Amino acid sequence: MKAASRVANTFGALVLAQAAHSTEESIGQLWASFPPARFVSGLVSTNLEHGFVFLNICIVAFGAWCYWWPVRREWRIATPIVWVWTVIEVINGVVHPSWSILQGGYTPGVITAPLLLAIALYLVTLQRSSAARR
* 107 close to 30: Cβ distance less than 8 angstroms: yes
pLDDT for res 43: 98
Query: What is the rounded distance in angstroms from the CA atom of residue 75 to the CA atom of residue 90?
Result: 23
Q: What share of the chain is helix, strand, coil (3-state, %, to 5)?
A: 80, 0, 20
Query: What is the rounded distance in angstroms from the CA atom of residue 25 to the CA atom of residue 20?
Result: 9
Query: What is the rounded distance in angstroms from the CA atom of residue 62 to the CA atom of residue 56?
Result: 10
CB count in 10 Å sphere of residue 108: 22
Domain spans of the chain, in order of start:
3-133
pLDDT for res 3: 76
pLDDT for res 133: 74
pLDDT for res 1: 65
pLDDT for res 37: 97
The pTM assigned to this predicted structure is: 0.95
Query: Which alpha helices (DSSP H) does the chain contain, by range?
Result: 3-27, 30-33, 35-44, 48-66, 78-103, 113-133
Task: For CA atoms 7, 11, 12, 13, give the dihedral sign.
Answer: positive
Which ranges of the chain have pLDDT less than 50?
A: none
Max CA distance (Å), the chain: 49
pLDDT for res 134: 64
